[in-house]
Structure 1
Amino acid sequence: MSVRIIADSACDLPTSVMEEHGITRLSLTVHLDGQDYKDGETIQPKEVYDAMRNGKAPKTSQVSPQSFKELFEHFAREGQDCLYLAFSSELSGTYQTAKMMQQEVQETYPDFNLQVVDTHCASLGYGLVVLRAAALAKKGKSLDEIKELSTYHFEHMEHIFTVDDLEYLKRGGRVSKAAAFFGTMLKIKPLLHVENGQLIPLEKIRGAKKVLKRMTEVMEERGVDLGDQPIAISHGDDLERAEQLAEMIRDQFGTKDIHIHQVGASVGAHSGPGTIALFFLNAPYK
C-alpha cells in the first residue's frame, strides 16, 4: 500500500478484519483485578463484560508513548507514509500522546511522512472511517487524498447508542450520579449520540423495546442514502439485539452492507454489557 493506515483498538474492528485490510493496530490498556491487559490481544470483550456483570469495575488507559514511538520509528526507517486515525480526543488522551510522539520521531526522521488525525469518533463509527481509509490506501491513493476523504467521513459520522445500565457510564464519569440513579429507578433507557467527540444525551426512552425503533427513526431523520452506504452496529455482548436492529434497518432502508461486531474491551469497560450502538453517515457516501 502507498500509505500505511494505523488505528487504535477503540475502533472495535476485530483482529481478523484489521489484518484483512492491512490496518496496523495499537492497543489501549484494560486494568482488571490488578492486572494490565492489551485490548483485543490479551483480553477479549466477553471477559470484560462477564467481570462487569459480577460487579467488577475495569479501568482503561491510553496507548503508551513508547508504543507510539516504537511503531512510528519502525515505519520511519522503512520510509513508509503513514496515517494514524485516532480515537476521539474527548474520550481518551491517546491522540495527544500520538501528537507528542509524532513530533519527537519526526525530529529524528525529518522526511518521515506521518499524519496524526483526531477522528472525534468511537467504536465502529471510528471503525468505518478506518475501513474507508484502508480501502483508499489499497487503491494507491496519496496520504493527502486519504486524509481528506477520511475527514469527510468522520465529520459526517453519526453515533446513536443506548446502554443497558447507566451505572457503567456513571463510573466512567460520563453521566452524573443523579442521572444514573433516576434512569435505573424509572427503567429509563437513555439514547445518546456523539457531538464534537463527546457523549451527549439525546433522549430518555421508557422501556427497552422502544429503543431500537427510536434508533431507526433517528437514522431516518439524520441519514442520507441509507441503502447505499455501509453502516455498523456494535454491541456489548448482545448479538441478538444487534441482529434484530440490523434486520429492522434492512427491512426499512434496504441496506445491504451492515457490519456487526462487539464493542471492544476498552470502550466496553465504560459502556458496559447490553450496549447497542448504530453508526451511519449523514451525508452522501464517498
Structure 2
Amino acid sequence: MTVHLIADSAADLPRSFYDENRISFIPLRVLLDEKEYDDLLTIQPAEVYEAMRRGKAPKTSQPSLQLLTDMFSRLAKEGNPALYIAFSSQLSGTYQTAVMAANEVKEEFPHFDLRVVDSKCASLGYGLAVKHALELAANGNTIQEIEMSVKEFCDHLEHIFTVDDLTYLARGGRISKASAFVGGLLNIKPLLHVEDGKLVPLKKIRGRKKLLKRMIELMKERGRDLSSQTIGISHGDDEESASEIKRLIEAEFHPKDIVVNMIGSVIGAHAGPGTLAIFFSGKEKR
C-alpha cells in the first residue's frame, strides 16, 4: 500500500513541493499586527521579514488540535497508512498536539496505521528528512521501514546556523538582552547548532568572513561522506549570503546536490532577517 506523508510548514520547503508530491501540508501560524495568518497560505516569509525590519515583532503558534484531527480523519477514510514527520518537539508543541489528534482518530478508526515522528529537526534540516521519506515512499518501502530510516536520518542531521541580529533571539529568550546589545556593537555573531531538538550556542565570532570559514570547518569536522550528500542551506531573506556559503561548500566538498530555500515565517519570526543555516549528515548521532 502507498504510504501517505504529512509535514508542516516548519520544514521550510516551497508550498509547491507539497502539492507536486501529494504530501499533506500543515501550516503553523503567525500573529502579526493582531491578525493571525497561516504560514505559506495567507502569509509569505518575505512579508514577515519586511515587517521585522520595520520593527514589528511577529509571534507564532502551533496548528489547532481540530485542524490535525480533521486531516487525520480524512486520511483514515482513504485507508492508506500515513506518516507525519513533525517539527522538533523542543521548539514547538505541534508534535504533542499531533500525538493527541492521532490517538483521538485511532479510537474511531482502529485499523488506521498513522504514525507521528518527532524529527527533532528544524527548517531545511527537517525538510531534508521529508525529502528522504519521500524517496523511500516512492521506492515502495513500508511505513515501518520509512519510519525507522527517517529516525536514523534525523539522528545524524547537523544544523549549523547564525543570525544577523541577536535582538530577535533575545526577544525569544534564547540569549540575554545584554548579550544582544554588546553583540550589535562589536559585530559579534553567534554560531549555534541543534542538540536533541534544542537550539544550543556553539561560539561567538567577530566578523562575517571568520564566521563563514568556521561554518565550513564544522562541516569538515562533523560531516560524513559529504560528496555523496544533499546539503541544505536556508536563509532569512538573504540570498547573497546563501549564494556565498553555497559556493564555499561546492568548492570544498563537491556534494551530490545543494538545496537552497528561504527560512519560513514561523522560524524566521524568531531568528530574524539575515539568518543563515546549513544542514548535512554527521558522523555521530546528535
Report the TM-score range of the alignment, normalised by the length of the smaller protein.
over 0.9
Unaligned segments of structure 2, at least 5 residues? none
2:187 is matched with which residue? 187
Deviations along 1:45-80, one digit per CA (max 9) or x if unpaired, are 100000000000000000111110010000111112
Deviations along 1:6-60, one digit per CA (max 9) or x if unpaired, are 0110000001222233321100000001111110111001000000000000000
- Contact (CA 8 Å) 1:22, 1:134: kept in 2 or not? no
- The one-letter amino acid of 1:3's match is V
2:73 is matched with which residue? 73
- The one-letter amino acid of 1:242's match is A
1:145 is matched with which residue? 145
2:174 is matched with which residue? 174
1:121 is matched with which residue? 121
- Contact (CA 8 Å) 1:21, 1:131: kept in 2 or not? no
How far apart in 2 are the matches of 1:120 and 1:278? 16
- The one-letter amino acid of 1:238's match is D
1:282 equivalent to 2:282? Answer yes
Identity fraction in percent: 56
How far apart in 2 are the matches of 1:2 and 1:162? 39
1:198 is matched with which residue? 198
2:46 is matched with which residue? 46
Deviations along 1:198-239, one digit per CA (max 9) or x if unpaired, are 100001100122211111110010000111110100000001
1:259 is matched with which residue? 259
Deviations along 1:66-123, one digit per CA (max 9) or x if unpaired, are 1100100001111121000110011000000001111111011111100011110000
Residue 174 of structure 1, CA deviation: 1.9
Q: Which has the larger displacement, 198-207 or 10-19?
A: 10-19
How far apart in 1 are the matches of 2:111 and 2:26? 23
2:60 is matched with which residue? 60
- Contact (CA 8 Å) 1:7, 1:23: kept in 2 or not? yes
2:164 is matched with which residue? 164
2:269 is matched with which residue? 269
SS of structure 1 residue aligned to 2:228: coil
How far apart in 2 are the matches of 1:58 and 1:21? 30
How far apart in 2 are the matches of 1:272 and 1:197? 19
Unaligned segments of structure 1, at least 5 residues? none
Q: TM-score, normalised on structure 2? A: 0.97
Number of residue-to-residue matches in the alignment: 284
1:210 is matched with which residue? 210
1:155 equivalent to 2:155? Answer yes
- The one-letter amino acid of 1:74's match is R
- The one-letter amino acid of 1:229's match is Q
- Which consecutive segments of 4 or more residues in structure 1 shift more than 3 A? none
Q: TM-score, normalised on structure 1? A: 0.97
